[in-house]
Amino acid sequence: MIWFFFIVLSVFTVGGGLGVVATRNVVHAALFLLLSLLGVAGLYVLLASTFLALVQIFIYGGAIVIVLLFAIMLTRSREYPHISDNRQWPIAGIGALAFFGMLVVAFRVNNPVAQVRHHVEFTDLGRSLFTEWALPFEIASILLLVALVGAVVIAREGGRRG
Amino acid sequence: MITLAHFQIVSAALFAVGLYGVLARRSAVLILMSIELMLNAVNLNLIAVSSYVESSVFSGLIIAIFVITVAAAEVGLALAIVLRLFRNRASVNVDEIDLMKW
């Protein structure tokens, strides 16, 4: 049964990714991306990381896909229903396949002996985040603030240099 | 029994797909989507390893949370840059943006 879910979710994940890089329509690419991200969230559930699955659905499925759709709508280009790829796309495909082969070999060579799956409670994760990882957490919040201010400054209409 | 290696293979496939997208696509928005695929592959790998290997401080899970944070910041900034680019050049194709190329 768990194999069935794993295979279905893997097909969603990788198939959605292939849809993103293969489709000719930008809006379809965003919807394929959503499918892939939800597949990854399902794989997190299989890995007993419920919290990360929720974060994945809220932030990726809810926020990032919407922001990308806004980017598509605000930069409405005539080419969007039928975009084209670079001329050197076969080289890109060969490079990506070679990288995949390298990763698989690397995972085979350096395979940690691990069979037990651990379930992590929300409370343990939160305690760890606010004790051992408190400083990185604060730095991440400053990073988000800086990115927000920077995005507003870059995208703002007008300004001194037009 | 699903082992760690299966999750790693899925993650490697997703990363390779994203890499192909970054290299082959012309539109900046689609390159952004492919970068999101690659970040998700990395997250999947981190969480798979952290779920199979014992750790007292949950390094994999927490680093995955930070990756999601940074990805959100990156998408916001990239959207601003794409909007600016479209306003100035009326195009978001990265091969037409060659101002700094010599």
Write out chain A's pLDDT in tens, 162 residues: 888 999 999 999 999 999 999 988 889 999 999 999 999 999 999 988 888 999 999 998 888 999 899 888 888 777 777 777 778 889 999 999 999 999 999 888 877 666 666 677 888 888 888 998 999 999 999 999 999 999 999 888 765 554
Q: What does the DSSP 8-state code read for residue A123?
A: H
Rounded Cα distance, A8 and B38, in Å: 20
What digits encode the pLDDT tens for the residues B33-90?
Answer: 999 999 999 999 999 888 888 777 788 889 999 999 999 999 999 989 888 888 887 7
Contact in structure between B5 and A110 (CB atoms under 8 Å): no
Contact in structure between A140 and B72 (CB atoms under 8 Å): no
Which chain A positions have a beta carbon within 8 Å of B20's beta carbon?
A: 21, 92-93, 95-96
What was the pLDDT predicted at A115? 64
Cβ of B19 within 8 Å of Cβ of A99? The answer is: yes
Which chain B positions have a beta carbon within 8 Å of A44's beta carbon?
A: 44, 47
Instruction: Note the residue count of chain A.
Output: 162
Residue to substitute from A3, A23, A57, A64, interface B, most B β-carbons within 10 A: A64
Rounded Cα distance, B24 and B30, in Å: 10
Name the residue among A66, A72, A18, A130 with its Cα closest to residue B72.
A66
Contact in structure between B71 and A64 (CB atoms under 8 Å): yes
What was the pLDDT predicted at A162? 46
**Token pair listed for A79:** 């080419």
Rounded Cα distance, A111 and B52, in Å: 12
Name the residue among A102, A60, A48, A18 with its Cα closest to residue B67.
A60
Rounded Cα distance, B77 and A149, in Å: 9
| Interchain contact B44–A (C-beta under 8 A) | yes
Write b or e for each residue in A14-39: b if 16 or more Cβ atoms lie within 10 A of its Cβ, otherwise e.
bebbbbbbebeebeebbbbbbbbbbb
Contact in structure between A10 and B10 (CB atoms under 8 Å): yes
Write b or e for each residue in A113-150: b if 16 or more Cβ atoms lie within 10 A of its Cβ, otherwise e.
ebeeeeebeeeebeebbeeebeeeeeebeebeeebeee
Rounded Cα distance, B10 and A17, in Å: 11
When CB atoms are compared, the residue of B17, B18, B32 closest to A68 is B32
Contact in structure between B19 and B13 (CB atoms under 8 Å): no
Rounded Cα distance, A81 and A136, in Å: 42
Which chain B positions have a beta carbon within 8 Å of A36's beta carbon?
A: 14, 37, 40
